[in-house]
Structure 1
Amino acid sequence: MLTVITILVNYIDSQLELGVTKYVNSFCIVFILVIFLVQTTIWLIRNKAYKGIKQAMLHYFTVIKLRKSFLDAGYHNKRYYFNNEVADLPKVKLEFSGDLSQAKLFIENININKNIGDVSVSFALNNFIVDRSYLSNNENFYVFEIHDSNIDRQYKFDSFDAFKNQSALIDDYTLFIDKSISISLFGTLLVGMTGSGKTYALYSLILQMLTKNVHYNIYFADPKNSSLAVLGEKISKENTATDVEDIIDLLQKFNELMRQRKAEIKEKLTTKLEGTYADFQYEPYIFIFDEFASFQTVLQTMEKKKRDEVMKLLSQVVLQGRQLGFFIWIVMQKSDATLLPTNLRENLPVKFVLGNAEKQTYITAFGTGVDIPERYFELGQGVFTCPIVANTPKNCHFSYLDFDIMEAVTHLKS
Structure 2
Amino acid sequence: MPTVLLPVLVVGLLYFIDNNKVFSFMTPILIYIIAFIIILNLIQLVYWLRSNHIEKGIKYVINHYRLLRLVLISLQDAGYYVRRQFCGIDVAKLPKIYIEFSDNYAYGLIKIENKVRYEQRLDNIELSSSLGRYIVETSYLSADENYYCFDFFNSNINRQLRFDSTEELLQYSNNLDDNMLFIDSLSQVPLHHTLIVGQTGSGKTYALYSLILQMINKKINYHLYIADPKGSSLAVIGDKISPNNTSENIDDIIQSLREFNDAMDRRKNEIKEKLITKIDSSYVDFGLEPYVFIFDEYASFQSVIQSKDKKTRDEVNKLISQIVLQGRQLGFFLFVVMQKSDSSSLPTMIRDNLPLKIVLGNAEEQTYVTAFGYSKDIPNYKFNIGEGVFTFPQIANNPKICAFSYLNFNILDALEKSGGNVITPAPLKNN
Shorter-chain TM-score range: over 0.9
Structure 1 residues 276-315: Cα deviation after superposition (integer angstroms, max 9, x where no partner): 1122121111101100000111111112221111100000
Tell whether 2:322 aligns with 1:316: yes
Tell whether 2:67 aligns with 1:62: yes
**How do 1:323-334 residues align onto structure 2 when only pairs under 5 Å count?**
323-334=329-340
1:135 is displaced (CA, Å) by 0.9
Q: In structure 1, what is the equivalent of residue 306 of structure 2? A: 300
Q: In structure 1, what is the equivalent of residue 392 of structure 2? A: 386
Q: Which runs of 4+ in 1 moved over 3 A?
A: 1-19, 117-120
Distance in 2, Cα, partners of 1:50 & 1:5: 32
Segments of structure 1 that go 5 or more residues without pairing to the other structure are none
1:8 is displaced (CA, Å) by 8.9
**Residues 69 and 119 of structure 1 are in contact (CA less than 8 Å); yes or no, is this contact kept in structure 2?**
no
Q: In structure 2, what is the equivalent of residue 264 of structure 1? A: 270
Q: 1:8 to 1:179 in 2, by over 3 A?
A: closer
**Residues 16 and 23 of structure 2 are in contact (CA less than 8 Å); yes or no, is this contact kept in structure 1?**
no
Corresponding letter in the other structure for 1:241: S
Count of residue pairs the alignment pairs up: 414
**Residues 191 and 331 of structure 1 are in contact (CA less than 8 Å); yes or no, is this contact kept in structure 2?**
yes
Distance in 2, Cα, partners of 1:197 & 1:384: 14
Structure 1 residues 187-239: Cα deviation after superposition (integer angstroms, max 9, x where no partner): 11111111111100001001111111211111111111111111111212221
Q: 1:90 to 1:218 in 2, by over 3 A?
A: same
**Residues 49 and 61 of structure 2 are in contact (CA less than 8 Å); yes or no, is this contact kept in structure 1?**
yes
Aligned mate of 2:101, from 86, 92, 96: 96
Distance in 1, Cα, partners of 2:13 & 2:162: 67
**Residues 229 and 297 of structure 2 are in contact (CA less than 8 Å); yes or no, is this contact kept in structure 1?**
yes
Distance in 2, Cα, partners of 1:96 & 1:13: 51
**How do 1:36-185 residues align onto structure 2 when only pairs under 5 Å count?**
36-112=41-117, 115-116=121-122, 119-185=125-191
Q: 1:374 to 1:142 in 2, by over 3 A?
A: farther
Segments of structure 2 that go 5 or more residues without pairing to the other structure are 421-431
**Residues 365 and 375 of structure 2 are in contact (CA less than 8 Å); yes or no, is this contact kept in structure 1?**
no
1:13 is displaced (CA, Å) by 12
Q: 1:5 to 1:185 in 2, by over 3 A?
A: closer
Tell whether 2:397 aligns with 1:410: no
Structure 1 residues 351-408: Cα deviation after superposition (integer angstroms, max 9, x where no partner): 1111111111111111137622332222111111223222332111111101111111
1:88 is displaced (CA, Å) by 1.7
Distance in 2, Cα, partners of 1:15 & 1:211: 83
Tell whether 2:230 aligns with 1:254: no
Q: 1:21 to 1:159 in 2, by over 3 A?
A: same
1:15 is displaced (CA, Å) by 7.0
Corresponding letter in the other structure for 1:21: M
Percent identity between the two aligned chains: 49
Aligned mate of 1:278, from 271, 284, 291: 284
Structure 1 residues 140-162: Cα deviation after superposition (integer angstroms, max 9, x where no partner): 21111111111112110011111
**Residues 62 and 124 of structure 1 are in contact (CA less than 8 Å); yes or no, is this contact kept in structure 2?**
no
- Cα RMSD, aligned residues only: 2.2
TM-score, normalised with respect to structure 2: 0.91
Partner SS for 2:116 = coil
TM-score, normalised with respect to structure 1: 0.94
1:25 is displaced (CA, Å) by 2.3
Tell whether 2:350 aligns with 1:344: yes
Partner SS for 2:158 = coil
1:164 is displaced (CA, Å) by 1.8
Say which is worse superposed, 101-110 or 371-380, in terms of deviation: 371-380
Tell whether 2:218 aligns with 1:218: no
Q: In structure 1, what is the equivalent of residue 236 of structure 2? A: 230
Aligned mate of 2:34, from 29, 32, 46: 29
